[in-house]
Amino acid sequence: MTIVEMLGQSGALTLLGMGIVFGFLVILIVAVSLAGKVIHALGLDKAALPKPAVSSGPSGAAKTAAVTAAITAAVAEYRKNEGK
């Protein structure tokens, strides 16, 4: 077997392998798309949706201010008791 024949055979095997992988990926994409459509049609994807959060507490700015005040008070208390 000459080098040219070996290169031709290796090229053919490379293309065959890449073709098989590409075909498998196409089949996989089609299968996942079909599964998604079936799940959506059966309504099984409704449980995956997050429930909207109902805020009954203070807003984000008020929470930030409260945290800042708590940290400031803790640092002041630490500094006051540090000398003792």
DSSP secondary structure string, 41-62?
HHTTTGGGSPPPP---S--HHH
pLDDT above 70 (res 56):
no
For residue 27, tell me if it sits in a domain: yes
pLDDT above 80 (res 53):
no
For residue 52, tell me if it sits in a domain: no
pTM: 0.50
CB 17 within 8 A of CB 24: no
pLDDT at 25: 98
pLDDT at 39: 92
Domain membership of residue 32 as a residue range: 3-47+58-82
pLDDT at 43: 86
Cα separation, 16 vs 9, in Å, equals: 10
For residue 53, tell me if it sits in a domain: no
Tokens of 66: 């409260």
pLDDT at 62: 82
Domains contained in the chain, number: 1
